[in-house]
Chain A
Amino acid sequence: MTTLAAQIPARQRIAAVMRLHVANPWPTVILPWIVLLGVHALTWSIWALISHYAGDTLEPEAFRYAGGVSWLVIYMMVIAIQAMNAGFRFALGLSATRRDYYVGTVAVFGLMALGYGIGLGLLALVERATGGWWLDGSFYAPAYLYDEPFAVVAFHYVALYLLFTSMGSLIGAMFVRWRAYGLYAYFAGLALAVVAFVWWLVGAGGDALVGFLRDNPLAVVMAWTLPVSAVLALLGWLVIRRAPSRG
């Protein structure tokens, strides 16, 4: 038998996987922004109510600590879990290899991290230009992001997004490979890691961590999440490369 060549080149196969994830862009690209703007509007109206009634007694940093953006990373983690589950089985059902699937999926997450990071960074710029949406509020760059430049705000969100999607990818991969046992293993591992972390924190680690966060700029702290994300993504690949698609 003559040696075969793949009938679709690798780059095109990976592009097909990427398209698979956004064939219906609603849950990944459109809905998050709508919800985000909705939460923003709600937060803004609460700010408006408070400042109306508080008047001059309002503290200057009263609206500095909104957490309205944080749900986004959790949502994206769920998207990543679903992508690894239904998306994986669908892609294999269309004769994709696991390797093409994983590369294409990671590429989509990378692009989405950039899109969301830059988008949130730009909204933070608008926030500053408008004097905190005319109420001195901080929605897109709250708390520790308040004084950071655009590049750091955007990078912070990119890194955070990558961290949570790589976590979601690993959870999804473990579910696809080992079903419920995979989830038990994941959360058992997570619980152990948290206990070990707290153990370290109350012992020698507490001062070291505070020192690390105090002495290093935010960009450096966030940069340290990148190797963590990379390791999680690599673990996800090791799990999924031998995952069956039986369901």
Chain B
Amino acid sequence: MTAMIEAQGLSRSFGSVHAVRDVTFAVEEGGVTGLLGRNGAGKTTLMNLVSGQDFASAGTVRVAGEDPVENARVLTRLCFIKESQSYPDAYRGRHVLAIAARFFPHFDAHLATRLVDDFDVPVNRMMKKMSRGQRSAVGAIVGIASGAELTMLDEPYAGLDAVARHVFYDRLLADYARRPRTIVLSTHLIDEAADLLDHVLVIHQGRLEIDAAAEDLRGTAVRLVGRASDVDAFVDGREVLGRESIAGIHSVTVAGVDAQGRERAAAAGLEVAPVSLQQLIVHRTGAPVHEEVA
């Protein structure tokens, strides 16, 4: 496997704000990568840099081995759908789809037409008159139908209801199975998307916090509940992600616990529960480590 995206010490700052700081990672060709993080963590800035829409302050980014900035060789293979995409004033939904077909060499117009029905998008409505969800759906349709070798979707379902989101996951996976490619999906609905993801990048305050296979992440963190002394004895020396205590009973989220470790914890009289990807990321990117509950 070769790398579709390679970032090396990539940084972008706006005045004193460091939106992306010294980020290094690689996204392999094929597979679905989740780019996760809180609002303002730097997800969109990072994707802007990868798609050559913004310029790095420091470091480098390569797509398919080349600098994406002003590079038609890279850009004709890439589709980046952003949440805040602006459209020309006079555009209706159908204009967006008609023009997108001219910019993406693998655009599947039949699929786009079917997706319009699936998402129930009023394509004859002016883009500026559409609701947030409808605009998101137009973006999602372009992204899925583009068939681009690197398809990046930034919060593709902002404003979409649960049914439309389900349609999105379903159609994205169906097209992915038909036309395998590299997909990068940014979202903060982590649990919903978790099953979709092969790889996870978590960005927090501009820095890369986690870069791991989704499978590894799911297995490693557990929640241990038990008497304070038992819990403390077990977690001593381990990476504690979160801690709650209620009247002498401790509940601790710990990273890096393998199957053997879980058996030992159970043997020590602790209750062992799995931690979802979302809980894990919440713990790693924001929740205070110690939380006292009266």
Contact = CB atoms under 8 A, between A and B. Distances in A.
Interface string A205-244: 0000000000000000000000000000000000001101
Contacts of A10: 72
A100 B52 CA distance: 14
The interface centre, meaning the residue of B45, B51, B53, B70 with most chain A CB atoms within 10 A of its CB, is B53
B84 interface: yes
Given A1-B65, A90-B88, A19 B76 contact: no
Contacts of B54: 244-246
Give the contact-size bracket for chain A.
35 or more
A92 B87 CA distance: 11
Contact of B90 (A27, A85, A244): A27
A95 B104 contact: yes
Nearest to A91: B103
A204 interface: no
B66 interface: yes
A15 B18 CA distance: 38
Contacts of A27: 89-90
B69 to A, nearest CB: 9
A23 to B, nearest CB: 4
B221 interface: no
A51 to B, nearest CB: 39
A244 B103 contact: no
Interface of B: 2, 44-45, 48, 51-55, 64-66, 70-82, 84-92, 95, 98-100, 102-105, 148
In the A-B complex, the 4 residue pairs with the closest CB atoms: A1-B65, A16-B102, A94-B103, A7-B76
Interface of A: 1, 4-8, 10, 12-13, 15-16, 19-21, 23-24, 26-27, 82-83, 85-87, 89-90, 92-100, 241-242, 244-247
